[in-house]
Amino acid sequence: MGEPVPPADLDDLSQAQEDLARALGRARIGEDRALANLVRELGERLAHLLAGLLRMTQLHSPDNTAFNQPVEELHRTLVKLNDTLGSVHLVAVEDQVYVNDIRIRTGEKDTGIHDLGAELLRHNVGGITFHKPLDDAGIRTLVGLLGGEGAPEEPRTALVRALAAAGVTGLELTGRHRFRMAGESGHDLSERHDFIPRALTAIDEAFQNLAAGRIPNPLPLRRLVTELLERDLADEELWEDPKTAPALARHLLRVAHLSLLVGRAAGLAQDVLQDLGVSALYHDCGYAAGGRAEAAEVGFAEHPLAGARLLMHQRGFHEAKTRRVLAALQHHRAANEHPHPGLFGRIIRIAEDYDTLSRRSGKLSPTMALATMLKAAGTLYDPVLLQLLINTLGAYPPGTLLQLEDGRVVRCVTPGPGSERFASPIARCVNLADGTPAPPDQPPVDLRTAGRVRVLRATS
């Protein structure tokens, strides 16, 4: 191995790669074509093999020698997918099949894949997640159980128990899926309600995959960003922060959310917002370089360059990848530093520092965190982008604790964008006027009618 590439040299290299990608038109913004093609190829093989094995159960028992070759090929395919992606998610939606968000192409004669969803639904199963490759016995057990009749009551639960009793591990079965009909909202209530835990699980999984030395797979994270952009970014649920989730995953999601707020306020196009969100979710990935056994722990000063190197391992060169590399490399660079950081680096620097001051350290209220950052506008922070964040969050950003005139303590739960709401967001009561905890059924508090307020220092 040679000497480490200095940050400035890597910056120039990344810029050259970006120019080359644009000139040759090898990939348009938002695409991760090389990885998508690899996942599609292996995913098609996985779906074909699984469908074929299920058809064979109609003629033979899974321990028949006729299963030997396709079972071995399915195992090898799962090994390759697991090495590339980590956990492998196969999802059947009506007559279509997806592997890690990539739709599997089927021809007119691919009746097996078309019927795969129906086979799974007999057990009330809509998807299978392979957390690790199944061995020969595990594949035969899975195929034999899926090929049999579903239990009359709670068939998916019965199937999970049967797999556990047979010693099959590293497998997860999910419920059925369906396409949305015209006129339906983007996500049903159950999907909307569980977005935060789903997102945190996917983010932590992406980090653990990098720590295990796997090639970066931005596709699941891009799906999260798409869902986030379909939502109202001021939605109260999006400001929740489950304390049971890994701290780093929570930080990455908060920074992505804040970055998208700034990017949307700046008028960035939808495809650029997609790249911004994924870049923000990856910005601290350099810490994952210390997860490998042969690597020393990565420190604060080293993690931007370490992150850029990790992201360079993804196959191909295209604008989406280059933006992620630059964002990881530049997200701690001051706005007035030379060479100047790119747009994503400047946005993520603001989002991360605000989150660190107001949430991770807990030393400053959100209001004081913004006031502190405002003193560094033009030096550490791009003044225009910082003002966009302030305008979007309002005078009392989510998480701010306020004491009302009547003595109640409330926590702001939505931003206050615009002149009407700037100092009057929606809040939830934390303590009643007598100091006792507020019951959970307390109605939200509209600060437009709450009278004078006093900011409290604590944020949680």
Helix or strand holding residue 345 (H, E): helix 343-355
400 has pLDDT over 50 = yes
Question: How crowded is residue 68: how many other Cβ atoms within 10 Å of its Cβ?
Answer: 12
Distance CA 302, CA 34 (A): 28
Average pLDDT over residues 127-140: 92
Helix or strand holding residue 205 (H, E): helix 195-211
Distance CA 266, CA 283 (A): 20
pLDDT of residue 295: 44
Global pTM value: 0.69
List the one residue out of 159, 239, 152 whose CA is nearest residue 196: 239
460 has pLDDT over 60 = no
pLDDT of residue 2: 40
Model confidence pLDDT, tens digit, residues 404-430: 989 999 999 999 766 778 888 999 999
Residue with the bigger pLDDT between 181 and 214: it is: 214
H helices present in 57-135, as ranges: 68-85, 111-121
110 has pLDDT over 60 = no
Would you place residue 182 in the very low, low, confident or very high pLDDT band (cuts 50, 70, 90)? very low
Question: How crowded is residue 37: how many other Cβ atoms within 10 Å of its Cβ?
Answer: 13
Q: Report the percentage of the chain scoring pLDDT > 70.
A: 83
DSSP state letters, 22-40? HHHT-S-TT--HHHHHHHH
pLDDT of residue 291: 67
Residues of the chain with CATH 1.10.3210.10: 184-393
Model confidence pLDDT, tens digit, residues 40-62: 899 999 999 999 999 999 999 99
Surface-to-core class of residue 368, CB atoms within 10 Å of its CB (0-12 exposed, 13-18 middle, 19+ buried): middle
25 has pLDDT over 70 = no
For tokens 């649920």, the residue is 237
Length of the chain: 460
Surface-to-core class of residue 113, CB atoms within 10 Å of its CB (0-12 exposed, 13-18 middle, 19+ buried): buried
pLDDT of residue 192: 54
The first and second tokens of residue 235, run together, are 């939605």
Of 7-11, 111-115, 268-272, 402-406, where does mean pLDDT reach its minimum?
7-11
Fold category of 184-393 in CATH: Hypothetical protein af1432 (1.10.3210)
